[in-house]
A and B are shown apart, each in its own frame.
Chain A
Amino acid sequence: MAPLRHVIFFLIPLLFFFPPSLSATTVLPVSLTQLTEKADTIVAGVVQESQAYWDEGRIYTDITIETMEFLKHPTPDRPTVIVVRTLGGQVDDMRMEVHGVPRLKVDDEVILFLKKDDQAYTIFGLYYGLCRIETDPLDATQRVSGPLFRARTTQSLNTKALRLNPLPPQGEGLDAFFQRVRDLLPPSDETRNP
Chain B
Amino acid sequence: MKLLSLKIFTALLALSLCPASLHAWCWIRDTGSTSLGCASSQYKQSCCNGNLRLWTDGTIEYRISDVTPDPLIVSLKAGIDLWNSLEMSSFLFDYQGTSAFTSVSKDETNLINIDPDFATRNNMIGEGILAISTTWTQGSGTSYRAVESDIAFNGEEFNWGDGTGGTINTTAVVAHESGHSAGLSHAGVECQNAGSEGCGANFEEATMYWLYSAGNPGQNNKASLELDDAAALIHGYPVSTFTVKVVNNADIPVPGITVELLDAAAPRDGQDSLEGGRVYGDVTHSDVLMGDKAPSGSYINQTPFDLTNASGLTNAIHPTRRTVRIRASIGGFSQTVAHTLINGPSTLTVTMPDGLDDLVGPLLSITSHTSGDLVKTDTLTLTGTASDLGRGDSGVQQVTVNGLPAEGGSATTGETATWSAEVPLVTGSNTITVSATDNATTQNETSQSLSITYDIVPPAVVRTYPSNGISEIPVNSSISVQFNETMNPDTLSAATFTNNRGLSGQVTYDAASRTATVTPESPLAPLTAYTFTLTPGIQDTAGNALAAPVVWTFTTQAAPASSSSSSGGCFIQVSQE
Contacts and interface: CB of A to CB of B under 8 A. Distances in A.
B131 A26 contact: yes
B344 interface: no
A7 B126 CA distance: 8
Interface in A1-34: 4, 7-8, 11-13, 15-16, 18-30
Contacts of A93: 138-140
A173 to B, nearest CB: 12
Contacts of B173: 22, 26
Contact of A23 (B106, B136, B166, B210): B210
Interface string B398-441: 00000000000000000000000000000000000000000000
A52 to B, nearest CB: 13
A124 interface: yes
Given A7-B157, A22-B173, A98-B134, A174 B571 contact: yes
A125 B181 CA distance: 21
A169 B37 CA distance: 10
Interface string B2-33: 00000000000000000000000000100011
Given A97-B137, A126-B127, A152 B477 contact: no
A142 interface: yes
Contact of A58 (B106, B177, B194, B197): B106
Interface stretch (B230-238, B452-460, B562-570): B562-570
B444 interface: no
A133 to B, nearest CB: 5
A57 B103 contact: yes
A84 interface: no
A103 B212 contact: no
Secondary structure dominating the interface of B: loop
A15 B168 contact: yes
Contacts of A149: 195
B571 to A, nearest CB: 5
B429 to A, nearest CB: 28
Contacts of A103: 32-35
A69 B564 CA distance: 12
B12 to A, nearest CB: 27
- Number of contact residues on A: which range applies? 35 or more
Nearest to A133: B571
Contact of B35 (A24, A69, A102): A102
Nearest to B191: A21
Q: Looking at A20, A28, A127, A128, which has the most chain B CB atoms within 10 Å of its CB?
A: A20
B496 interface: no
Contacts of A98: 132-134
Given A22-B186, A127-B35, A107 B569 contact: yes
Contacts of B106: 54, 57-59, 94, 96
A25 B569 contact: no
A20 B116 CA distance: 20
Interface string B183-194: 001100001111
B564 A21 contact: no
Given A24-B180, A102-B35, A66 B564 contact: yes
Contacts of A185: none
Interface in A86-118: 87-88, 93-103, 107, 109, 117
A190 B124 CA distance: 27
A46 to B, nearest CB: 5
Interface residues of B, number: 75
B104 interface: yes
Contact of B465 (A27, A30, A138): A138
B132 A44 contact: no
Interface string A64-97: 0010110000000000000000011000011111
Contacts of B570: 46, 68
A58 B135 CA distance: 11
Q: Looking at B210, B564, B568, B571, which has the most chain A CB atoms within 10 Å of its CB?
A: B571
Nearest to A134: B40
Contact of B129 (A44, A125, A132, A150): A125
Given A21-B194, A97-B137, A27 B129 contact: yes
A151 interface: yes
Contacts of B477: 140
Contacts of A169: 193
A152 B212 CA distance: 13
Contacts of A68: 564, 570-572
A95 B137 CA distance: 5
A94 B137 contact: yes
A57 B36 contact: no
A138 B180 contact: no
B193 A142 contact: no
B159 A26 contact: no
A8 B160 CA distance: 12
B366 interface: no
B450 to A, nearest CB: 33
B212 A124 contact: no
Nearest to B567: A107
A38 to B, nearest CB: 7
A14 B216 CA distance: 17
Interface in B160-213: 166-168, 173, 176-177, 180-181, 185-186, 191-197, 209-213
Contacts of A150: 37, 192-195
B136 A96 contact: yes
19 contacts: A7-B126, A11-B157, A12-B167, A22-B196, A22-B210, A22-B212, A24-B180, A26-B131, A26-B177, A27-B128, A27-B130, A48-B568, A68-B564, A99-B185, A100-B33, A100-B35, A138-B465, A150-B37, A155-B128
Interface of B: 28, 32-37, 53, 103-107, 123-140, 147, 151, 156-159, 166-168, 173, 176-177, 180-181, 185-186, 191-197, 209-213, 219, 463, 465, 477-478, 480, 482, 513, 515, 517, 564, 568-572
Given A20-B128, A102-B35, 7 more contacts: A20-B130, A27-B128, A98-B133, A100-B197, A135-B571, A147-B195, A152-B193
